[in-house]
Amino acid sequence: MAAAFNIDISTIPVNKDLVKERATASFKVAELTHIIDGGPEKTKRRKELESIVLSDPLFLNKNGVNLTKSEAYENALQKSVKLKSWRRQYNWSEEDYEIITNRINCFDEALTLHHTMFIPALERLCNEEQKARWLPLALNYRIIGTYAQTELGHGTNLMRLETTATFDPETDEFVMNSPQISSMKWWPGGLGKSSTHAIVLAQLYVRDKHHGLQAFIVPLRSLEDHKPLPGITVGDIGPKMALANVDNGFLIMDKYRIPRDNMLMGNAVVTREGKFQMLRADKSNYSTMMYVRVQIVQWSAFTLLPGTVMAVRYSAARRQSSLKPGGEEVQILDYQTQQYKLFPALAAAHATSFAAQTLRREYDAALGDLLKGNKQVMGEFHSQTSVMKALCSDIAVEHAEILRRSCGGHGYMLLSGLAPLYTSSLGLVTVEGENTVLYQQTARYLMRQMAATLSGLTVGHSCSYLADPQETELSITSPEQLRDLDLLLTLFKRAAQRIVSQTAQRLQADMERGLPQDQAWNKNMVALVRAAKAHGWQTLVQYNVRAVQGLRGSTSPELATVLHRLCCLFALHAIETNAGNFLETEVLNPGELGLVREVEMGLLGEIRPDAVALVDAVDYPDSSLQSALGAYDGNVYERMYKTALTEPMNRTDVHPSYYKHLRGFIKGTSSKL
């Protein structure tokens, strides 16, 4: 099909509105880029990696929106193989590889779980002999692995997983079995067509005695021809809302035998004689799952950061209507309603990014204790990773949809970049624990900590606010007070403390009236989830406040001011959208809530001049961003039209279906040729 407009994007100047926006920013973009990356040296390193990866046409994704599911998988698999080959060639570090997968290739891989779960699980769950055997194979990609935990019938309730591993002392083997349809493994990424091996979680039976959930490394496919091994049925689960690049799969094992030493024996051992021995707390098996939840907080940030880039740049380049009759059409970024869609998302992007950095540092510091099964550390970190994964993914999904809507009809198109970003983000709220269940797990920890507080016992660091006295009443009489980050944090802590306390009191009262604990829990389940969310919000605001305060001495006054505004907006917007929590607990009164809204609206206008600079600082190359709406040059319409021309239906002027169906219908004759 001939194009009516011959467009060469490289010859078109940058959109004049974006040029103006960048010229009037109050801070240096590179300074914020360094903070997002973790320092100037890390920015330099990221750009070095970009120069390698993006020099290969494979990673330019020019027709990504037009690929079928099978084509998207093949394309992602090709990228995975290329990146893993380069990793060996260039000796990339773990940090290098995370930058490439998260920031440069934007998760467009097929073998993600090999890197994020299979290898970490081997490192954490194997004994030294097994590490020496399996890790070199995995690190050198002689085997490709996944982590098979979730089943068709059970996900978050791990104790009720149905897959069995029964020790046969006569052959020194485990018999792996999927006893019924609900026990087949379902959802693991890379399981469908890619993986040669899986770490399978199964119920262990030795001499008819049940020993709980254990991990096993299970060969799935021949290393010669990649065909499923006898006793293994494996395949792709089919189309999903998004992420066609990943072959999420199912696995059925029919009395499939593996050697005894294929049980990962870092935590527990089954001897040749059939004796089971626990070496350390079985909850250390959860360290891998907690690690992935930390990763999901980071993935939530990497949903919001590019989303804000696309929507803000589009809003600066798009002019629509006028504020006064007959006046010039204005940038839609000038409308307060548009700012109210974009800027809270921008603030949330930075808040979740700071949270991801903090949580990762806390995980790395606690890893030794986690692997030892330290009950205190395990319980607290399980609670924190559960609520942070749930809250940050909820926030990411909510704002991703608002960002998509902020671009009007154009945001509905895949070429916008926002539509696929939103649909991809939806998986975050159910992967590695459905969020409602995770909130409940945090709520259980909070109820125990509340009981410890009432008994005068020491509580976990994350819950120390539960024991804080609230003798001084807060009185907010001026808007300026609501720009005090410590005061804002105090508001969240007080609301959380009162909600957790009130929930614990209701739960206890129901049990004192004779209601069994399980029934009392179910009766108060919505309140318990609310308590966990309140705790999560104070944690997230605290991470954000402490990060911004910690940067004050090392950043320019101009950037410090901008970050302070974003931090305030994040907290104030959260107060407004959760106003019931603050009013019901009497942390705020209606008049004070009115001041919250006043300051929030004022911050929108203050952030407006720096909006484009703030998203430029995220520093996504256009080839990684893959958005016709959000490219650096702002030439939205030219890019949309050029992308539309790549649609396969436009390869011919007349679609073949015309001759089959439409021609005869229009002409009033039979549609048969």
Assign domain 288-614 to its CATH architecture. Up-down Bundle (1.20)
Per-residue pLDDT at 456 exceeds 50: yes
Look up residue 382 and give its amino acid.
H
Overall residue count recorded for the chain in this entry: 673
Q: Report which of 81, 456, 76 is spatially closest to residue 246, judged by C-alpha positions.
A: 76
Domain residue spans of the chain: 20-109, 143-279, 288-614
Query: Beta strands 268-270 and 276-278: pairing type?
Result: antiparallel
Q: What pTM value is reported for the model?
A: 0.93
Q: How far apart are the first and last CA of the chain?
A: 24
Give the pLDDT confidence score for residue 671 in this predicted structure: 45
343 Cβ neighbours under 8 A, 6+ residues apart = 569, 603, 604, 607, 608, 611
Per-residue pLDDT at 29 exceeds 90: yes
Question: Is residue 2 very low, low, confident or very high in pLDDT (cuts 50, 70, 90)?
Answer: low
Give the pLDDT confidence score for residue 314 in this predicted structure: 97
According to CATH, the superfamily of the domain at 20-109 is Acyl-CoA dehydrogenase/oxidase, N-terminal domain (1.10.540.10)
Alpha carbon 333 to its chain centroid, in Å, reads 27
Give the pLDDT confidence score for residue 263 in this predicted structure: 97
Selected from 3.40.50.1000, 2.40.110.10, 3.30.1360.20, 1.10.357.10, the CATH number assigned to the domain covering 143-279 reads 2.40.110.10
Beta bridge pairs of residue 199? 147, 217
Give the pLDDT confidence score for residue 673 in this predicted structure: 44
Do the beta carbons of residue 573 and residue 399 sit within 8 Å? Answer: no
Instruction: Please confirm, yes or no, whether 432 is among the known catalytic residues.
Output: yes
- For 252-314, the three-class secondary structure string (H helix, E strand, C coil) is EECCEEEEHHHECCCCEEECCCCCEEECCCHHHHHHHHHHHHHHHHHHHHHHHHHHHHHHHHH
Give the pLDDT confidence score for residue 284 in this predicted structure: 56
Do the beta carbons of residue 86 and residue 52 sit within 8 Å? Answer: yes
CA dist., res. 560 & res. 549, Å (int): 9
CA dist., res. 379 & res. 227, Å (int): 42
Give the pLDDT confidence score for residue 366 in this predicted structure: 86
Alpha carbon 525 to its chain centroid, in Å, reads 25
Q: Is 176 helix (H, G, I), strand (E, B) or coil?
A: strand
CA dist., res. 604 & res. 598, Å (int): 10
Segment 413-442, tens digit of pLDDT: 999 999 999 999 999 999 888 999 999 999
Segment 206-249, tens digit of pLDDT: 999 999 999 999 999 999 999 999 999 999 999 999 899 999 99
Segment 105-146, tens digit of pLDDT: 998 999 999 988 999 999 989 999 999 999 999 999 999 999
Give the pLDDT confidence score for residue 324 in this predicted structure: 84
Phi, then psi, of 109 in degrees rounded to 5: -130, 160
Per-residue pLDDT at 450 exceeds 90: yes
Per-residue pLDDT at 14 exceeds 60: yes
How much is the CA Rg of the chain, to the nearest whole Å? 27
Average pLDDT, rounded, for the chain: 93
Per-residue pLDDT at 3 exceeds 70: no
Question: Is residue 1 very low, low, confident or very high in pLDDT (cuts 50, 70, 90)?
Answer: low
| Tokens describing residue 381 | 């970190």
Question: What average pLDDT does this structure show over 486-511?
Answer: 96
Per-residue pLDDT at 554 exceeds 90: yes
Give the pLDDT confidence score for residue 668 in this predicted structure: 87
Per-residue pLDDT at 33 exceeds 60: yes
Q: Which residue has the higher pLDDT, 469 or 175?
A: 175
pLDDT above 70 coverage of the chain, percent: 98
- Dihedral class, residue 213 (left if φ above 0, else alpha if ψ from -120 to 50, else beta): beta
Residue 187's alpha-carbon distances to 234, 250, 352, 650, in angstroms, are 11, 6, 26, 36
Catalytic residue from among 432, 592, 600, 638: 432
Question: What average pLDDT does this structure show over 52-81?
Answer: 90
Look up residue 668 and give its amino acid.
G
Question: What average pLDDT does this structure show over 562-568?
Answer: 98
Give the pLDDT confidence score for residue 61 in this predicted structure: 73
Residue 393's H or E segment, with its range, is helix 375-406
Question: What average pLDDT does this structure show over 563-584?
Answer: 97
